[in-house]
A and B are shown apart, each in its own frame.
Chain A
Amino acid sequence: MDKFTIDNMNLYYGKFHALKDVTLHMPKNKITAFIGPSGCGKSTLLKSLNRMNDLVEGCKITGDIRLDGADIYGDIDINVLRKRVGMVFQKANPFPMSVYDNIAFGPRTHGIKKKSELDQIVEQSLRDAAIWDELKDRLKKSALGLSGGQQQRLCIARALAVKPEVLLMDEATSALDPISTGKIEELCLKLKDEYTIIMVTHNMQQALRISDNTAFFLLGEMVEYNSTDAVFSSPQDKRTEEYITGRFG
């Protein structure tokens, strides 16, 4: 079953045509990876899925994007959409508050007030993001004092804390060391049972290791979309082949 369907989508930043006629159906409980060179529109596409592009002045979208069959650009509550479709941003963006408050911000937004319940969510989210052991004694300290990699995992934990159905991860592991990266990848594989994950990655091995399907983008165009095995073992398009072989050296 498809969780997200994108049909004939075009996106313009002012006069700039950033995404060209993208059609892409992403199945439920799978990991879909977006790959492609810098500036090809991966983040842009990802941000269209939780309507983060609404914040960009002069951004125009046409086409049809549906979550569980419902038009996300139709008459829906955007805040509910963003709760259902969580996002980890390309640059870690912890709030200037304590580690605990960072994680609890989402659940509190959605009405959870009870301390014991929040405590439990905070611990579980941090554990899932492979950072509980490092932070359990610093929950009351400012999140801005964490290292870059710790901040990124904190943001992953923060996204998990609202229990979304879909998780959008924009190069979530690009600032992490191999061990934390491994843990996040493990987490993704584990979360797959409950969540649908859509991730952007520049790391071909990572796409190969954990994603089920891969979409390759070039200059705003979706060149190829297939099962990850097929994309990497027998790419249909010459450009895909050049890109992935170039990356593999």
Chain B
Amino acid sequence: MADMNNTAVIDEIKPINKVTFKQRMISYKRKPLSLVMLLLVALAAVLSAAALVFIIVYVLVRGIPNLTPELFALTYNSDNVSCMPSIINTIVLTLLTLLIAVPFGIGAAIYLAEYAKKGNKLVKVIRTMAETLAGIPSIVYGLFGMLFFVYALNWGYSLLAGAFTLAIMVLPTIMRTTEEALLTVPDSYREGSYGLGAGKLRTIVRIILPSAMPGILAGVILAVGRIVGETAALIYTYGSATGYATGLLNSGRSLAVHMYVLTNEGLHTDQAWGTAVVLLVLVFGINTLSAFIAKKLGNKKG
């Protein structure tokens, strides 16, 4: 205990258990293959990182000079092509989609992991279905959303149609990640809780869900990424109206769709780059926020 306060002393210690360059070279000489392996994986890591950094830097370089005040004007017109309505629309759309998808996804996962019997046929069917649905391209969801929500239910191109379509799209993701997170909670926690006379509900709410929370949130973050980045499914359901979607049945465009339209029209390529920077920042912000929430929730149980 006394030593712990003496960090200055600890910093100056020369540990004997440090692997020196020379020691490494000795072992590589005996096993040259492991040096080759090291170089290969290091190369893979560097190249992957480089590709990412290149894209981000490229977007920033092209986009930042175009971040003019007009781009953030409160109202859109075809001169300023403001992305402000799209930012707000994206946030509202994301929240509404999560509001629909998260309770169903988590609920279904709780049923599969905690209530259904292990060998249950229905469980296998649901699981296979979820896996299949997770792999379907988003445009298929868009087409379905258009035929069902937009036309059959007559909601038109609307926030509601977009949110429901995206909710169905991200539901399998949330369900599967949540189920996986629940299954990694050790059975000994369940035994401990039941052994104290706690019922199923209390065990799930107090013990299992808190332990699985980081995994569940990882699924939600993944879902947010897909929602924010989605274009194909939204063009057919949410439409591309340029204003704020103030009502559930109003059409609007999300940031990604906005960018797609700008690029497609070819008249505002510079502003499209600026919008890309905004999208980048938005995704980054949402991820940081989610990680922060995950950490908060994780700390509470510790």
Contact = CB atoms under 8 A, between A and B. Distances in A.
The 6 closest A-B pairs by CB, nearest first: A83-B197, A93-B188, A106-B196, A82-B197, A142-B302, A93-B192
Interface centre among B195, B197, B206, B207 (most CB of A within 10 A): B195
Nearest to A144: B302
Contact of B191 (A52, A109, A110): A52
A48 to B, nearest CB: 13
Interface in A42-75: 50, 52, 55, 57
19 contacts: A82-B194, A83-B196, A86-B195, A87-B195, A89-B191, A89-B192, A95-B192, A95-B207, A96-B189, A96-B211, A97-B210, A97-B301, A105-B196, A106-B196, A106-B198, A109-B198, A110-B197, A158-B196, A159-B195
Interface string A130-156: 000000000000101000000000010
Given A96-B210, A96-B301, A97-B302, A79 B191 contact: no
Contacts of B197: 79-83, 106, 109-110, 162
Contacts of B196: 82-83, 86, 105-106, 109, 158-159, 162
Contacts of A110: 197
B29 interface: no
Interface string A232-248: 00000000000000000
Interface centre among B117, B118, B197, B211 (most CB of A within 10 A): B197
Nearest to B190: A55
B208 to A, nearest CB: 10
Given A79-B197, A97-B302, A159-B195, 14 more contacts: A52-B191, A55-B194, A57-B118, A82-B194, A86-B195, A86-B196, A93-B189, A94-B192, A95-B207, A105-B193, A106-B197, A142-B302, A159-B196, A162-B197
A96 B302 contact: yes
Contacts of A81: 197
Interface residues on A, range: 20 to 34
A190 interface: no
Interface in A101-122: 105-106, 109-110
A79 B192 contact: no
A142 B192 CA distance: 16
Nearest to A168: B195
B202 interface: yes
Contacts, number: 70
A79 B302 contact: no
A159 B192 CA distance: 9
B199 interface: yes
Interface string B194-236: 1111110010001100110000000000000000000000000
A163 B76 CA distance: 68
A98 interface: yes
A105 B211 contact: no
Nearest to B200: A79
B244 to A, nearest CB: 44
Nearest to A84: B197
B48 to A, nearest CB: 33
Contacts of B117: 57
A81 B194 CA distance: 10
Given A93-B188, A96-B210, A97-B301, A52 B195 contact: yes
A91 interface: yes
Contacts of B186: 93
